Every structure is written in structure tokens, then in C-alpha cells.
């Protein structure tokens, strides 16, 4: 019942759009692949009896059984930080609750998670944490974890609190404006981080070999710009449960590490993490007040 990654990607897309009579070209465009390659994979899926063709391609019961081990079970939002580079708007409002073009930043992510059928949702909150209660009116299924160490530890402090919840979970930084909700899926192949291929960035990025993340660094050429949305399969989640605590307690400054460094730097031999490519316009990362003003003119006053 093991799918190859390209088979998985096509099967997941067919499951999402079955009944809508998408053409092969439309599927190929979404997957950023050629129609010839797509057609070859569809033939493989037909031969495996994971899909069938009527007026459209549809997933069979066997196909759903093969997809079940890959199903995403929960989403965890990291939302405890102060957002100092977004002052003055964060003086009275947590960064994830700031509105961008009329919609709260975190809602762009929550709506995508809900649309993917994921209803087990946890938000780790800290700074002005009580304000997140307003989300319950629209998203009553949300559970909160309060991180009271947000002012003395980096986001590894939040990770420590959810270290036993990572199995089949998305972990999402809550300050990303998501413009392409298709990024959030019902199924994931294995542990991965989102990244955009770039010639150069001075931000956090990945060195990638054959789709596998080998190094994380700040600034690089011919690399993948890192976005703070990741997925954790069962083996990786098990290792993270131990490794997060190990790095957090590392002397002299474990509490000041970023949680992503656990798997991508300090304990990277314990993990095989893929990069999942995203593209220009899919996500916008707003780090500073100046960037906020450039995106939403209401703040440019």
C-alpha cells in the first residue's frame, strides 16, 4: 500500500476535484508538470485500481484505503509571540489577529485548514492571549494552550508544549497571509516544510537535494525560501517528542532556539524532511510594519 510520491500527488488532486470534470491540462497546471508525465501517472493509478474513469476520474474505495495512512489529523498554530517588528499595530493586538485587507492574518490559515476537513485545531497563544477568544465565534472547535514563557523563550517554548501532539499534524506559524488555500491538503506524503525556489534570499532558507532538506540557513543562493508551515508524520513526531525537550534544555541558550532548528539543525540525523514547493503569490510573510503598509494601504497614514 505504498504510493510513490508522484502517484500520491496526482491521487490527492483527483480526490479533491473529482466530479468537476477538470481536463488533464488543468490538473497538469496545478501540479506544475507536463501532460505527458501526468498521463503516465494516471495510467499507473488506473492499473493499481486506485482510480477509475467514468465521465471523470474518481477515486475508488481501494484508493481511499491507500490514502488513509496519509490523512492529516490536526493543525497546530504557533501564535504566542509579541511581533516586535510590527509595532505600533502589535502594541494592543497580537500579530496573528491583525487585519490585512479586511481579514485577520490567522483567519487566512484557519479557513484553509477547515476547507481541508481538519477540525482538530489547537492554537498556542501567549502575548495578549485572551484576545484569541474572539475566534471562537467563527471557529468554535478551537482549543487553546497558554504559553506563559513567550517573553523569556523563543518559539521552542511553544513547541515544548505541543511536543506530544505532532503525529499527523500541520504546524503553522500564525503570521503568514495565505493567498492559495490549496496548499493545505487533506493528505500529506511525509514530513515536509513549505519552500519557494529562489536564486537568492537573505532570509531563512533550505539547501535541498533531490527534494530532501539537507541544511537550514539564513541567507543563500539557489535555495528554497522557508515558510513556517510544516507537516509531521508519525516517525518524525515520535522523534520530535524527545528532541524538542533535549534542545530546549541544551546549555547555555536552548530556550532561545527556534523550534525549526530541532529537526533541521541540531538533531537533523533523526529526520528525513521533504521540501514541498510553493510559488510566487501563494503566501506572503509580513515581518515588519513597513511591509504591512505596502500590502494594505489602510495602515499607510
pLDDT of residue 297: 87
Radius of gyration of the chain (CA): 20
Q: What is the pLDDT of residue 55?
A: 83
**How confident is the model over 72-117, as pLDDT tens digits?**
999 999 999 988 888 899 999 999 999 999 999 999 999 999 999 9
Which residues on adjacent β-strands are paired with residue 218?
204
At residue 82, the pLDDT reads 87
Pick from 68-77, 162-171, 277-286: least confident: 277-286
pTM exceeding the 0.75 threshold for the entire prediction? yes
pLDDT confidence of residue 86: 86
CB 274 within 8 A of CB 192: yes
How does pLDDT run across 193-209, given as a tens digit for each residue? 999 999 999 999 999 99
pLDDT at 115: 96
In angstroms, the CA 113 to CA 137 distance is 16
Residue 1 pLDDT more than 80? no
Cβ proximity of 25 and 35 under 8 Å: yes
**Across 134-150, average pLDDT:** 96
- 3-class SS of residue 191: coil
Amino acid at each position: 500500500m505504498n504510493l510513490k510520491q508522484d502517484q500520491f500527488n496526482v491521487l490527492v488532486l483527483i480526490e479533491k476535484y473529482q466530479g468537476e470534470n477538470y481536463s488533464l491540462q488543468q490538473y497538469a497546471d496545478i501540479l506544475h508538470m507536463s501532460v505527458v508525465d501526468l498521463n503516465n501517472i494516471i495510467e499507473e493509478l488506473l492499473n493499481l485500481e486506485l482510480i477509475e474513469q467514468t465521465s471523470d476520474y474518481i477515486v475508488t474505495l481501494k484508493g481511499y484505503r491507500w490514502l488513509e495512512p496519509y490523512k492529516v489529523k490536526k493543525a497546530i498554530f504557533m501564535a504566542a509571540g509579541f511581533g516586535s517588528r510590527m509595532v505600533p499595530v502589535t502594541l494592543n493586538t497580537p500579530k496573528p489577529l491583525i487585519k490585512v485587507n479586511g481579514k485577520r492574518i490567522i483567519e487566512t490559515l484557519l479557513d484553509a485548514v477547515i476547507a481541508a476537513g481538519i477540525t482538530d485545531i489547537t492554537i498556542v497563544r501567549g502575548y495578549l492571549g485572551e484576545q484569541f477568544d474572539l475566534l471562537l465565534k467563527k471557529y468554535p472547535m478551537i482549543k487553546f494552550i497558554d504559553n506563559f514563557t513567550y517573553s523569556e523563550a523563543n518559539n521552542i517554548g511553544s513547541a515544548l508544549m505541543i511536543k506530544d501532539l505532532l503525529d499527523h499534524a500541520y504546524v503553522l506559524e500564525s503570521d503568514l497571509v495565505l493567498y492559495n488555500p490549496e496548499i493545505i491538503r487533506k493528505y500529506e506524503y511525509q514530513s515536509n516544510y513549505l519552500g519557494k525556489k529562489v536564486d537568492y534570499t537573505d532570509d531563512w532558507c533550505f539547501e535541498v537535494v533531490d527534494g530532501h532538506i539537507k541544511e537550514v540557513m539564513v541567507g543563500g543562493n539557489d535555495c528554497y525560501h522557508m515558510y513556517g508551515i510544516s507537516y509531521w508524520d508519525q516517525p518524525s513526531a515520535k522523534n520530535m517528542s524527545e528532541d524538542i525537550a533535549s534542545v530546549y534544555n541544551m546549555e547555555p541558550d536552548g530556550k532561545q532556539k527556534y523550534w525549526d532548528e530541532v529537526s533541521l539543525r541540531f538533531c537533523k540525523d533523526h529526520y528525513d524532511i521533504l521540501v514541498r514547493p510553493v510559488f510566487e503569490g501563494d503566501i506572503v510573510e509580513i515581518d515588519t510594519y513597513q511591509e504591512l503598509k505596502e500590502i494594505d494601504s489602510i495602515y499607510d497614514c
